[in-house]
Structure 1
Amino acid sequence: MSQTWEKQEGNEGILTITIPAEELNTALDEAFKKVSKDINMPGFRKGKVPRQMFEKRFGVESLYQDALDILLPVHYSKAVDEAGITPVAQPDVDVEQIEKGKDVILKATVTVEPEVKLGEYKNLEGEEIDTEVTDEEVDHQIDHILTEYSDLVVKEEGAVEEGDVATIDFHGFVDGEAFEGGHAHDYEIEVGSNSFIPGFEEQMVGMAIGEEKDVNVTFPEEYHAEELAGKEAVFQVKVNALKVKETPELTDEFVADLEGREANTVDELKAELTEQVKAQKENDYEVTLKESLVARAADNADIDVPDAMVDTETSRMLQEFEQNLSQQGLNLELYTQLSGQDENALREQMKEDALKRVRTNLTLRQIAEEENIEVTDEDVDAEINRLAEQFGMPVEDVKKALGDATMIKEDVKIQKALNVLVDNRKKAE
């Protein structure tokens, strides 16, 4: 086999593949063995038709497509390797010549990874966030813990207040007509949670138990039910019951009984939470700094990203989205029903972020090449050990799950490229 690569405008090129006649003959033999098993001809048992009789009746040309199916995957892969190109989509293959006894000539139009011309990627100014922990942030964490341990207590009298859990009946009407899904009996709603249509919960504040009231709202323009989007509605609301959250008092005794905490006193809990918040903010600092630096480096780079790469990344993002939905007990079909968006609309929304991801990855890979970054066996082992610790798995199990180290090496190389940006950034004065 031989190949020639001719780069065209943009990210396309023509890969010409020449396959020797002997290999075509071998592939034709394999193709005949495959198809002859199902051939019925008078005077011959099924699968026993002589090759000469087959070609006389059907022509050798009838075997060409099956022969190409055998030859193309192997020789296309070899030709790509020899040409030193990186395709990003399936090729469009034209058969220039295929004839028994002659070389096969194929011309494949191939979209390849774009050339990346780096701009300035050192001495960039990154976004840096404050990592100091405030008393208010610790208090917020404490409030969250107290809320988790709150009890709902029946409110015998009084009016609806923000934070109350109200049990209500409601009937909704648009233009005087009831609409599907617009009514419920003994529906529980936490007032102030903003879980209902904007303006609904605010108008409930002050209602007494047993009181009935008309609540006027406007459905959002982007509401998932298109027939209601932007429409004005009236809900007849009745408050059946009220519950109020009673939060426990923050004491040493309360802290000592908390599960999963090492702290035994209020002061120890505050110190523990301070450390946790600090660790999270330092992690956020690192993530924010790296994201801002690579975004600026990618903006400075000259890259003509092929649509095929954006489409592939969009598909990957959609798959990640589906996985996140499944963790919440949903699937894509149910989500599209609830949101009123189909898969095509979701893909369209993701395209801009997909383009940014592709540009970012290409930029980092080019920086790694520019900086002659290498990944050692020690680097790979360190990353595998980190993953094992992160997921609580034995190192050997992580190695088995990953297979070869190709993906790990690529990830480590990208991280090293990111470190180049961080180490060479413009330091804040």
Structure 2
Amino acid sequence: MKSSWTLKEHSEGVLEVIVDGDVWTKAQKHAFQYFKKNITMKGFRPGQVPEALLKKQISKEAIYEQAVENIANTVLAQAVQEQKLELVARPTLDYKDASDESVTLDFNCVVEPEVTLGEYKGLDIHKDEVEVTDEDVDKELERVQDRYADWVLREEGEAAVEGDQVVIDFVGKKDGEAFEGGSGENYPLELGSQSFIPGFEDQLIGVKTGDVKDVNVTFPEDYQAKDLAGQDAVFTVTVHDIKYKERPEINDDLIKQLKRDGVETVEKFKEVTKEDLTKERERQAEDKFTSEVIKAASDNATVDIPTVMIENEVDSEYQQFVQRMQQSGFTVEQYYQATGQTEEDMKAQMRPEATDRVKNSLVLQAIVKAENIEISQEDVDKEYKEMSELYKMDVNQIKQLLPAYQVRADLAQQKALELIKTSVK
């Protein structure tokens, strides 16, 4: 068996393999036996047709085609290893020059693209400093007050102010015609919550119980229902009740209602809240820093990404979206019906971020090679153990789901990312 690799454009090429000798002879014999076992002829039981008669009935082309099918996977694996290729998609196969002595297989392959690294060390990127003020903690206390607040009915004649809850009926019309999903009854709307279309809630400030008011709005250009996006509409609103929020006093009794272990006083709540906010903001700052670092290294690199790699990433993300929908009790069809979108719309939205993820991964792989980063078996075993503890699964189960080469590749990319982060100015 002889193989050769010819790289063409966009990381696509042809892996040519000439198969001859015993390998090809045996493949043809196995192909003939396949036909002998499966072919049926009148007057003979299956598998009992004489070989001389079979050879007259079965064409050479049929034998060659079956023989190629029998050996294609084995030949491909050997040739890929011999040429040290990294395939990113299943190749397509053509064969030519088939004879009793040899056959030439042409595998049309897409391989991982070459990455030309730019600057990735000493990047001028800074991590945000984290600060939690007393005001931040006080806002968390206000949220506790809101959680246990009561809605109290305003007296007749009192006008609604921001923060009040108005109980309303509403009917929306576009060009004088009511539209689907544009009406509701006895809907409790908190003014200032920004849960309705921009401008809707602002126009209800100052209304009184019993008022009927037309609210004029323009739907956002990116509104999920395409037939309404960017369109003007009028909502006729009837106000039934207006309520204001009566917050409880901030004291130890209020904090005890939270039933948090070890947190029973206002002072303890402030202490724990400040610690929690600090950790959360540090995590956010680290995530932002990491994102900016890898984006900078990726922007400085040059790579022609094969379309199939991006589409595979999009398909993977789309399947995760479908699973999330199912877990929430909805089908994607119901989602599309509610939003007016299609599968193609969703995938088009996913494609830019999917492209970035693919490029980031390729750049990190290139840095792994450039820096000769290696992952020991001890590192792999440690990662399996940590995953076992995290997911409460047996290590052997995890190994079946996630092979060692994938763990090693992931850990290597993590080390490459840490190298970039620790080298910033």
Q: CA deviation at 1:198?
A: 2.1
Q: Deviations over 1:372-398 (max 9, x none)?
A: 21112332344344445544x266477
Mapped to 2, the partners of 1:296 and 1:226 lie a distance apart of: 35
Report the Cα offset of residue 114 of structure 1: 1.2
* TM-score of the pair, normalised by structure 2: 0.89
Q: In the TM superposition, what is the alpha-carbon distance from 1:292 to its structure 2 partner?
A: 1.4
- Going from structure 1 to structure 2, the CA distance change for 1:411 and 1:147 (only over 3 Å counts) comes to farther
AA paired with 1:404? P
Matches within 5 A, 1:10-409: 10-32=10-32, 34=34, 39-99=39-99, 101-155=100-154, 157=156, 158-388=158-388, 390-391=390-391, 393=392, 396=395, 399-400=398-399, 402-409=401-408
Change in 2 beyond 3 A, CA 1:152/1:363: same
Query: Residue 3 of structure 1 corresponds to which residue in structure 2?
Result: 3
Is the 2:10–2:305 contact (alpha carbons within 8 Å) kept by the matching residues of 1? no
| Counterpart Cα distance in 1 of 2:159 and 2:36 | 85
Cα offsets for 1:190-211 (capped at 9, x unmatched) = 3322222222222222222222
Cα distance between partner residues in 2 of 1:263 and 1:128? 32
Distance 1:146 1:310, change over 3 A: same
SS at 1:200 equivalent: coil
Q: Is the partner of 1:288 in helix, strand or coil?
A: helix
Counting aligned pairs with the same residue, the percent is 38
* Structure 1: stretches of 5+ with no match in the other structure: none
Q: Distance in 1 between matches of 2:270 and 2:237?
A: 43
Using the alignment, how far apart are the partners of 2:259 and 2:283 within structure 1? 25
Distance, in Å, in 2 between the alignment partners of 1:180 and 1:137 is: 41
Rounded to whole Å, the distance in 1 between the matches of 2:393 and 2:244 is: 47
Q: SS of the residue aligned with 1:173? A: strand
SS of equivalent to 2:291 = helix
Show CA shifts across 1:125-153 (max 9, x none): 12311212222222233333333334444
Q: What secondary structure, in the 3-state scheme, does the structure 2 residue paired with 1:104 have?
A: strand
Matched with 1:424 is 423
Q: Distance in 2 between matches of 1:333 and 1:175?
A: 29
Are the equivalent residues in 1 in contact too, given 2:153–2:243 (CA < 8 A)?
Answer: yes
CA displacement at 1:85 relative to structure 2: 0.7
Q: Is the 8 A contact 1:375 1:409 kept in 2?
A: yes
* Structure 1 residues 210 and 35: alpha-carbon distance in aligned structure 2, compared to 1, 3 A threshold: farther
Name the aligned partner's letter for residue 108 of structure 1: F
Deviations 1:163-207 (A, max 9, x none): 333332222222222233333322333332222222222222222
Q: Which amino acid aligns with 2:123?
A: L
Partner of 2:109: helix, strand, or coil?
strand
Q: What is the aligned-residue RMSD (CA, Å)? A: 2.6
Shift in CA distance, 228/352, structure 1 to aligned 2, threshold 3 Å: closer
Contact 1:384 1:395 in 2 (8 A): no
CA distance in 1 between partners of 2:91 and 2:16 (Å):
12
Cα 1:146/1:48, change in 2 over 3 Å: farther
Q: Give the deviation of 1:269 after TM superposition.
A: 0.9
Distance 1:388 1:250 in 2: 44
Deviation at 1:349, TM superposition (A): 2.4
* Higher alpha-carbon deviation: 410-419 or 68-77: 68-77
Structure 1 contact 116–303 (Cα < 8 Å) conserved = yes
C-alpha distance 37-196 of structure 1, shift in aligned 2 (>3 A): farther
Residue 162 of structure 2 aligns to a residue whose secondary structure is: coil
**Contact residue 25 and residue 101 of structure 2 kept, 8 A:** no
- Output the CA distance in 2 between the equivalents of 1:9 and 1:181: 50
2:161 maps to amino acid: E
* Greater displacement, 11-20 / 321-330: 321-330
CA 1:378/1:23 → structure 2, altered by over 3 Å: closer, same or farther? closer
Amino acid in the other structure paired with 1:125: D
Cα distance in structure 1, aligned partners of 2:341 and 2:177: 26
Q: Which amino acid aligns with 1:142?
A: L
Q: Give the drift of 1:112.
A: 1.0
Distance 1:242 1:107, change over 3 A: same
Classify 1:187/1:66 alpha carbon distance in 2 versus 1 (closer, same or farther; 3 Å). Answer: farther
Q: How many residues align?
A: 424
